Chain A
Amino acid sequence: MRSEVLILALIVGACTWAFRYLPLRADLKDLKPDGALARFLAATGPAAIATLFVAEVMPLLKLPLTGLVPLVAGVAAVVGVFVWRKSAVLATLAGSAAYGIAFALLG
């Protein structure tokens, strides 16, 4: 195993654990709901996930027009199943399945 991969895993794993555990212990009663830190915390999650979604989709947009059909099917399935079931897991699986099926149908 490469040491840089292990070090990266340990750094990210330790920070992720701290992010999950320490706020459970912290007293956030004094955190002003409209303060800069609260706004930063509220914006970080959506910003990170939106960034990652756009970054993942950008290469798919370079495909020929027929290549966009699976993308549209996959996105539609994610949105539709999420609205229906309110489950990120089911929506993810449905989107993946729809993309694969559309890809197969296009041959």
Chain B
Amino acid sequence: MRELVKSTFWDGLLTAVPLILGYLPIAFSFGVAATRSGLSMAEAFALSLIIFAGAAQFLALVLIAGGAPLAVAAFTLVAMNLRHVLYGPALMKRVGADASKRHAWAWSFMLTDEVFGAALGALARGRAFSEPFMSGLGIGAYGAWLAGTAVGAYAGAGALDGWPAVSAGLGFMLPALFLALLLSILQRAQLPVIAVAGVAVVVVTLLWSGTAGLLAGMIAGAVAGVMGLGRHAK
């Protein structure tokens, strides 16, 4: 049996380096997009500070700029983040029921898609689970997210006016992120759920509105799952 590698806070920070490099430009583009959507620097930073969920934050900009009612915006964003309920049990299943969770209330705040993925990857490579390690991993990612947001919001909406290609590339960051996340969780058994969601969002968006299309896609996909389409998905 392979001996587990001890995991300290600093090991967690070191493991977070790829996340830091990836989060900085994405958070920068979020800060720029936020000011472009009419948010102040403080509002952009508050979203990153309090929510710390990239895709939901970008969507929040669309909903806020579109004037969506608070209840609709909150429901949409909360529904979007519902997938996070799966990460804790998946992580604990990997490390065992006896693992310490004393400070999980703190480090779990930073358990994003990428932190979860990086943690599972490190555990798979033989690193032992520890709460300091999870804290280092999360704080590295969180710090990069906050720093990138602050710089992007400070640079402001006009920061990229002289750089149309860079602006276009950053504008594609969100669809690229969603596609990459979709690929990271994709299983053949879930293709019917994805197809139902995709058809629903297209049809309802064309017939009604973009916000209604978002809700319709998520609900139709989830209902398809409950009804048994993609029932063998883990």
Contact = CB atoms under 8 A, between A and B. Distances in A.
B222 A44 contact: yes
B176 interface: yes
Interface stretch (B2-10, B74-82, B146-154): B74-82
A9 to B, nearest CB: 4
Contact of A51 (B25, B42, B186, B218): B218
Contacts of B184: 82, 86, 88
Interface in B142-195: 164-166, 168-186, 190, 193-194
A43 B222 contact: yes
A79 interface: yes
A55 interface: yes
Contacts of B222: 40, 43-44, 47
Contacts of B104: 21, 24-25
Size class of the contact patch on chain B: 35 or more
B109 A21 contact: yes
B47 A24 contact: no
A64 interface: no
Contact of A55 (B22, B81, B210, B228): B210
Nearest to B166: A100
B172 A99 contact: yes
A91 to B, nearest CB: 4
B214 A52 contact: yes
B42 A40 contact: no
Nearest to A2: B43
Contacts of A70: 168, 172
B90 to A, nearest CB: 9
29 contacts: A6-B46, A12-B77, A13-B50, A17-B109, A20-B108, A21-B105, A22-B88, A41-B82, A43-B193, A44-B82, A45-B86, A46-B193, A47-B197, A48-B221, A49-B178, A50-B182, A51-B214, A53-B182, A54-B201, A55-B205, A55-B210, A56-B174, A58-B201, A74-B176, A95-B173, A99-B172, A101-B169, A103-B168, A104-B165
Interface of B: 18-19, 21-23, 25-26, 39-40, 42-43, 46-47, 50-53, 55-56, 59-60, 64, 70, 73-74, 77-89, 91-92, 101, 104-105, 108-109, 111, 113-114, 117, 164-166, 168-186, 190, 193-194, 196-198, 200-202, 205, 210, 213-214, 217-218, 220-222, 224-226, 228-231, 233-234
For the complex of A and B, the 5 pairs showing the least CB-CB separation, nearest first, are A43-B225, A47-B221, A100-B169, A89-B22, A51-B217
